[in-house]
């Protein structure tokens, strides 16, 4: 079992089951919402349960997906495609140790000009 929360703790959750190796997303939406790139892991939505969710809000950032956040502290916590039964969870919101290691960079075609990707992990344009 893995646990996690937002910065203020008003959104807290547990995850039962496997988590995928995380991706670092460099798309414009993730960079704007998080302030930089966004690293996330994925699990089946049934594996996620909330121990606190009084300030959980959802923003429909596009026609295909929504983004979950804490309306009190602003933490960007989740990303979910409208037509899928999985959910991406911010790796930074997870309590350590996670046992996770970054697997790849995605949407590097949209990467910010102010930084370079300096590791040897795979990079996907989209």
Domains in the chain: ranges and CATH: 2-110 (2.170.150.70)
Task: Determine the straight-line distance between the first and last CA of the chain, rounded to whole angstroms.
Answer: 31
- pTM of model > 0.95: no
- Per-residue pLDDT at 61: 87
Q: How far apart are CA 53 and CA 63, in angstroms?
A: 24
Q: What angle do CA 28, 40, 117 make, to 5 degrees?
A: 60
Q: From 8, 37, 19, 32, select the one nearest 97 (Cα to Cα).
A: 19
Angle (nearest 5°) at CA 45 between 14 and 109: 105
CA distance 49 to 37: 25
Please give the pLDDT value at position 34.
Answer: 92
Give me the average pLDDT of each 10-residue run along the chain (126 residues): 97 96 95 94 97 97 94 97 96 97 97 96 96
């Amino acid at each position: 079992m893995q646990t996690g929360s937002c910065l203020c703790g008003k959104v807290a959750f547990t995850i039962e089951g496997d988590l995928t190796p995380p991706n670092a997303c460099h798309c414009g939406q993730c960079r704007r919402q998080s302030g930089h790139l966004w690293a996330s892991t994925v699990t089946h939505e049934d594996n996620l349960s909330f121990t606190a969710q009084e300030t959980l809000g959802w923003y429909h950032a596009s026609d295909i997906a929504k983004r979950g956040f804490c309306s009190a502290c602003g933490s960007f916590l989740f990303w979910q495609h409208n037509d899928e039964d999985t959910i991406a969870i911010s790796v930074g919101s997870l309590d350590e140790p996670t046992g996770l290691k970054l697997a790849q960079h995605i949407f590097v075609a949209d990467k910010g000009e102010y930084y370079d990707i300096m590791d040897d992990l795979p990079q996907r344009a989209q």
